[in-house]
């Protein structure tokens, strides 16, 4: 088995923090699904990610469990989570108490 390259460590942006970006993951899944010409139901079946409502939650900008997130990343063949992260500026982080 060939080892996959390990991406560099993720460091928090200066003065801010990271958050999950459901829209970015939804867009990547939709693009790949269209390339493969498969249904949403087939995506979640292949990924072992529950039901098509999982993809609806992403489309609506809602969060999903870490387990499902990882399964979908594996289905995409992705080894780097950075495309699915967004930054929270320090001012927003303070306002939310994060």
Q: Which CATH class is domain 16-96?
A: mainly alpha
Stated pTM of the model: 0.76
Q: Is the dihedral of CA 62, 63, 64, 69 positive or negative?
A: positive
Q: Distance between CA 18 and CA 7 in Å, rounded?
A: 17
Q: Distance between CA 24 and CA 1 in Å, rounded?
A: 30
28-84 confidence digits (pLDDT tens): 999 999 999 999 999 999 999 989 999 999 999 998 999 999 999 999 999 888 889
The domains of the chain are located at 16-96
Count Cβ atoms below 10 Å from residue 76 Cβ, excluding itself. 18
Residue 96 has pLDDT above 70, yes or no: no
Residue 93 has pLDDT above 60, yes or no: no
């Amino acid at each position: 088995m060939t080892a996959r390259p390990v991406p560099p460590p993720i460091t928090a942006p200066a003065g801010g923090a990271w958050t999950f970006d459901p829209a970015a993951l939804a867009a990547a899944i939709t693009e790949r699904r269209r390339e493969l010409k498969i249904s949403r139901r087939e995506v979640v079946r292949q990924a072992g990610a529950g039901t098509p409502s999982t993809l609806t939650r992403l489309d609506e900008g809602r969060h999903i469990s870490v387990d499902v997130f990882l399964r979908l990343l594996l289905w995409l063949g992705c080894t780097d989570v950075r495309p699915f992260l967004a930054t929270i500026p320090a001012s927003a982080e303070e306002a939310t108490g994060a």
